[in-house]
Structure 1
């Protein structure tokens, strides 16, 4: 017996601009395509100052740390992710770049858009620090009041 996939109306996906997070965007776009849902691509950022840049680079690595500090890079990140989502088949893609920690921003975007699915990548779940201290996907899953899809985006 086949079970029907839940029909989602609004899906939120978080991205930091990394290749792994864009894989989560692609998967969210596929679900949005298959359920005719609105897809909201969200990126959290910190106010740009050198300390914030250093913290982001320490946390995320050189390749993406600079992308999530300040509104302008975050806006570019969500624009790029929206293009990925459209190519993957999502018909209605919206973007949000908001200041704050990734989990608080994702929770706020889910609430503000009355979303019924949150999609995040699994980056950070497989590291010792992620298991001990928590990670964005882990914390989002624990605090989410809606369905959550954790996409396998890393080894």
Structure 2
């Protein structure tokens, strides 16, 4: 098997997703591959935003806009570089996570897409779908689901 040339990982700023970033970075460093870090976000405004912040609590950063995505990506890049990866690129995408990850993976010609397993075993994940399961089903490339929870 040839080494991966472009490894992509998704992050939403959670502890679990940063663990996936670190694992993807170690793999990219070992392969001498480029690492692409993607963060999807869905901005809201007004009363809709206030309600979402109240209900989402610590997860509210996902609905505020691209500024939190940029901060999430900065932290992810720092964590990736700490794992020894040299070539790191990041992108904030206004879209749903699964669609964003699959699209960016195609656009950057990723050989491998890395995601954490959060939501994979939950009841909500089984009923509504989960990011790792949906990405694995839709990506059309190698997917590594990292045990992060």
Task: Give the TM-score, by structure 1 length.
Answer: 0.88
In the alignment, is residue 12 of structure 1 matched against residue 8 of structure 2? Answer: yes
Q: Determine helix, strand or coil for the equivalent of 2:143.
A: strand
Shift of 1:102: 0.4
Q: Determine helix, strand or coil for the equivalent of 2:36.
A: strand
Contact preservation (8 Å) 2:52, 2:63: no
Shift of 1:57: 7.2
Where has structure 1 moved over 6 Å in runs of 4 or more? Answer: none
Task: Give the TM-score, by structure 2 length.
Answer: 0.91
CA deviations on 1:113-153 (whole Å, 9 max, x unpaired) are 01010000000012101012111111001101110000000
**Aligned runs of 1:50-89 on 2, under 5 Å?**
50=46, 51=48, 54-55=51-52, 58=55, 61-89=56-84
CA distance in 1, matches of 2:61, 2:54: 7
Question: What residue number does 2:114 align with?
Answer: 119
Shift of 1:62: 2.4
CA distance in 1, matches of 2:133, 2:15: 19
Question: What residue number does 2:103 align with?
Answer: 108
Residue 34 of structure 1 is aligned with which of 9, 30, 39?
30
Residue 18 of structure 2 is aligned with which of 22, 47, 53?
22
Aligned residues: 148
Question: What residue number does 2:43 align with?
Answer: 47
CA distance in 1, matches of 2:24, 2:50: 28
Q: Report the aligned-residue RMSD.
A: 1.8
